[in-house]
Amino acid sequence: MEAIGDLAAEGVGYLDMRDYNKARWAWEQSHPAAPFMLWLKVAGHVNFSPDNIRVASSTSPGIPIPETSLAFAEITRLADYLYEQFGDVETAAQDKYGGASVLHDLVREVSTAHARWPIEEKPHRVNVIPCPGCNMLTLMYRPPVEKNDPVIITCIAQCGTTITGQQFADMCDLMEQETMPTRKLNKRWVTVEDAAELTGKSKDTIWRWARTYKANGDPLVRFQFYDSKKFYNLADIYAAEAAARAKAS
């Protein structure tokens, strides 16, 4: 979580006006129907850029989960938490830790995703997912030409099948469902049960690490509340495990 100071003298709650405006922008961008969120959901399945945006994995069968889908999931998790707990940006900004801090996290995630995977206006060939009409890898993703134009995906073979952007996003979901549950290591935040399974430690050990604080006052393992449950930072858990092993040796 982002470190948050005192109430802003000129701003909203614990956010100054600059951060508040960023939070409003990130809130709008993270809406499920926002064009950028739809793009994030499908971008990992098209020939996007010279950068390889897929996650290399020797453990997951089938189709690897694109990093864009992981970013989509993280942004959705943060946005859902804020909406369910506070309902709007103004109310969230009044809560120092559960609201303003998470708004900072949302801004960071959305800004990073925008920088890494900007919406491109040119068509892209689709990877892996075959055309539902002819079962060939001949789909072409066509972004909007004008502001309010829909996203469409067309088959460039003779069958000429056309599907909407939402239909394509649903197809991506179906293709990933069998793979996503096996990729717990990609989660940034996990339950105590998942943390115990991934590290081979007991839940009591995870809880003990979570109740430990560093010399500067920061928790050894950061956590967030979501849907009335605590989720722990996976990177912090592995760091705590490594420190415990080093101390034992």
The full DSSP string for 143-181 is: --SSTTPPPEEEE-STT--EEEHHHHHHHHHHHHTTTGG
Range(s) of the domain holding residue 174? 124-181
pLDDT of residue 109: 93
pLDDT of residue 98: 82
In a domain, 72, yes or no: yes
In the chain, the largest separation of any two C-alpha atoms, in whole Å, equals 66
Q: What are the DSSP E strand ranges found in 39-187? A: 124-125, 139-142, 152-155, 162-164
Residues 111 and 128 in one domain: no
Cα torsion 77, 127, 33, 160 to 10°: value is: -160
pLDDT of residue 249: 63
pLDDT of residue 32: 77
- The last residue of one of the domains, among 116, 139, 160, is 116
pLDDT of residue 227: 56
pLDDT of residue 2: 47
Residues 109 and 192 in one domain: no
Low-confidence ranges of the chain (pLDDT < 70): 1-10, 45-65, 120-121, 145-148, 173-188, 225-228, 249
Residues 140 and 88 in one domain: no
- The last residue of one of the domains, among 67, 97, 116, is 116
pLDDT of residue 116: 85
| Domain total of the chain | 3
pLDDT of residue 117: 82
- The last residue of one of the domains, among 181, 199, 223, is 181
Side-chain-side CA neighbours of residue 196 (13 Å)? 10
pTM above 0.75, yes or no: no
Q: Tell me the one-letter amino acid at 170.
A: D
